[in-house]
Structure 1
């Protein structure tokens, strides 16, 4: 059975966003998390992901290890906006595709969503439904 938690970090309705994303993905949604520079909260973890770990503690330790690196996303946003592409108003998302999965990080101001998807999952429809559900843009990266 998948694990779910209610959103506690996001100023927007991340639970509603998760439900919209789950209706949009064409393949598996392995995990859906909310995070900011300080905190990380898994909102959904599917059975396949849970089965990869010997215990929930091991899984949460791995997720925490991931968070120690994804918080650097917010520093990258500043690099892209202020240094590399100063005409850009915002960075909306970053996708990282690997042979085993695709990580999609979507930024909503000083908060973000981290989704683990199948490697061949198209990200544009997911980003579009997130934008629509959140009411985009809301002070994006300002």
Structure 2
């Protein structure tokens, strides 16, 4: 049975967003987490994801390592918005694709979503589903 938690960090209904993402993708959802510059909270972890770790502590340690780095996403998105492309209203997402996994990090105001899916999964339908579920911030340029 997958591991699940209720949303506590995001200023929006991340649980509803997770459901929309799960209804949109054709392959597996490996992980769905909410995060900000201070915290990282897994909301959904598939059985496959959980089984890749030797223990719960090993899994949490790896997630902490991930969060130590993904908080830099907010700094990077500000670099893109404010310095490199000041005409942009927002950086909506960043995608990293590996041979076994695709990670999508979506930014909604001061909150982020960390989503891992199959590498063949198209990204744009996921982002469109998130946008359709949320009131997307009009301008994140700060």
Is the structural similarity TM-score above 0.5?
yes
Alignment of 1:1-142 (within 5 A): 1-142=1-142
Structure 2 CA distance for aligned equivalents of residues 18 and 139 of structure 1: 23
Shift of 1:137: 3.0
Aligned length in residues: 142
Structure 2 CA distance for aligned equivalents of residues 22 and 141 of structure 1: 29
5+ unaligned residues in a row in structure 2: which ranges? Answer: none
5+ unaligned residues in a row in structure 1: which ranges? Answer: none
Shift of 1:141: 4.9
TM-score (norm 2): 0.97
Kept in 2: contact 1:110–1:141 (CA 8 A): no
Structure 2 CA distance for aligned equivalents of residues 65 and 59 of structure 1: 10
Shift of 1:118: 0.5
Structure 2 CA distance for aligned equivalents of residues 5 and 69 of structure 1: 22
The root-mean-square deviation of aligned C-alpha atoms, in Å, is: 1.0
